[in-house]
Amino acid sequence: MHSPPTRIVFSYNGSKDFSPDDLIKSFWLSTAMALVLVLPPLAIFVGINHGTEDILIASLIGFGVHYVILAFSVRICSQLERLFME
């Protein structure tokens, strides 16, 4: 019993009118969003871990800050979008 090979079919329904300028703005928006989500909790984690040498407290506070920033990510993204679209 031999089954036929599986084929993956990609449907392309997107528009072809993306300018290079739009792609560059999208790249910078994604990069800025990643930096805003990652760098503050990482700095807090490293700072608390270095100061107190307690990795548990540092990780709990770092993750807490990360999730608070994540909760406001829609607002942050809209502000960054406004900044990059000018």
Reported as a pLDDT band with limits 50, 70 and 90, residue 4 is confident
Would 28 be classed as within a structural domain?
Answer: no
Reported as a pLDDT band with limits 50, 70 and 90, residue 69 is very high
The answer on pLDDT for 12 being more than 70 is no
Would 9 be classed as within a structural domain?
Answer: no
Number of domains in the chain: 1
pTM of the complete model: 0.66
Would 26 be classed as within a structural domain?
Answer: no
Give the span between the Cα atoms of 34 and 84, in whole angstroms.
Answer: 15
The DSSP result for 55-68, as a single string, is HHHHHHHHHHHHHH
The domain in which residue 65 lies consists of: 37-84
Q: Could you tell me the maximum CA-CA distance found in the chain, to the nearest angstrom? A: 65
